[in-house]
Every structure is written in C-alpha cells, then in structure tokens.
Amino acid sequence: MRARYDGLADWYDERFGADAPTHQPGLLDLLGTGSGPCLDIGCGTGRNFGTIRATGRTVVGLDFSADQLRRARTRTDGPLMRGDATKLPFADRSFDTAVTMWISTDVEDFATVVREATRVLRPGGVLVVYGVHPCFNGPHMYFNEDGSRLVHPTYRQRGWHDESPYWSEDGIRRRVGMHHVPLADFLNAFLVPSLSIERFEEPDGPEVPHALAVRARRTN
C-alpha cells in the first residue's frame, strides 16, 4: 500500500528540514540523557536523529513511507525499517526509549500506537510523544496573521479530514490530509497499563500553543 507521504520527501525536507532547527523546541529536555537504542516511530526524513544521538542514545528509525526513509538514510548509518506504527515489528521490551514525533494526526488509531510503543519498551523505559496540539492545531482552526486563531465548531469531528477550507494552500495538510484527535481522545490514549505519565508540556513557540508533548515511563 502506498504511504501518504511517498513522493513528498524532498519537498518535506526543503519545507521543514533545511531552515528548521534539528530538534523540536524542548525535545532534548523531554528525552533527558540516556543510553541504548531509541526507536523513532514515524521518523520521516530523520530530522530528529541528531537530537536523539545528542542524549547519548542510538537511533532506530521506523516509518511507513519508503520515500521518507530514503532521505532519512542520509542522516544515519543505523537501522531503518519500513513498518506500521500500529503493528511494530519488534519483540516486547526491545527498547530503552521510544519517541513519536508529529504522527498523532497521520495514523488511523493513535491509541494503538501508544500501546505498541509501550509494549516494545523495557521496564523503566521512556516514551516521548510530541505532536499537534488537539485544541489549537487542526482542521477546525484558522490561523490569523496576528498570531491569534479562530476555532470553528468542527473541533468535535474526529477522524480523517481530506480537506479543510482553513488549510494553507501550500501546506502539508493539503497534500496528505489529517486525522483529527480531540483532546480527550489524545489524553485517553495514555491510559495504558504499566505506563506512567511523568509530565505534559506545551513546548515553546507561538503564544497560542502549536504542539503538545508527553513524557511517560513504562513501570513494569
């Protein structure tokens, strides 16, 4: 099955990689120092590999798009794998750390991704999830030029949106669509046995938060 992001890797890297920081604001602090393999679920073109390595960890990248992995290969000589985030091709308790960056709006079932990420963590392992803020970033939002945002009543329309009148003409969502996850659904995804939430963050950025991040730990 063709991935939504196939054919977009070069454009994506030019748009979000070349002039963007090598890590998202606050990601380094959320991860903290560590060691061992870190599974980057939905690694895309690998633009966060440098940040993961800076914490002392090694990178294992996974993405559903072979095209994105082609660009990711230019950023690591470590293992990369094409795979489904809802059916991770790894044994239980394989990793010390797992991260997912910006994929909650690109998968059919975000809760299953969190459960799978927890499954492949070793006891004491850290999970960092960093992505779209469900309240202030989605098909229901209009971004005003002054930095304010207008919320439309379509906020409660969970699931796939292939089109929204509020999306930028040259943005990623016009190309791949978006799976909207309301805030309650996003938070409930972390109610996983053996997963303990350590903190939520709205990372630095615009005055109206663009992103929402979570750090959690597998307890047993």
Contact 132, 205 (CB under 8 A): no
- What pLDDT sits at residue 207? 92
Domain assignment present for residue 204? The answer is yes
- Domain extent, residue 41, equals 8-134+182-218
Domain assignment present for residue 187? The answer is yes
C-alpha pair distances (Å), 27 with each of 87, 136, 162, 171, 203: 25, 20, 29, 23, 8
- Would you give the end-to-end CA distance of the chain in angstroms? 35
Domain assignment present for residue 124? The answer is yes
CATH number for the domain spanning 60: value is 3.40.50.150
- What pLDDT sits at residue 87? 97
* Phi, psi (rounded to 5 degrees) for 208: -90, 115
Domain assignment present for residue 168? The answer is no
One digit per residue, the tens of pLDDT, for the chain of length 220 reads 568 899 999 988 888 765 555 558 899 999 999 999 999 999 999 999 999 999 999 999 999 999 999 999 999 999 999 999 999 999 999 999 999 999 999 999 999 999 999 999 999 999 999 999 999 999 999 999 999 999 999 999 999 999 898 888 888 888 999 999 999 999 999 999 999 999 999 999 889 999 999 999 999 9
Domain count, the chain: 1
- What pLDDT sits at residue 188? 98
Domain assignment present for residue 158? The answer is no
- Dihedral angle, C-alpha 111, 117, 123, 128, nearest 10 °: -90
Report the SS3 class of residue 213.
strand
Outline where the chain has alpha helix (H).
9-16, 27-31, 49-54, 66-72, 110-119, 172-176, 183-188
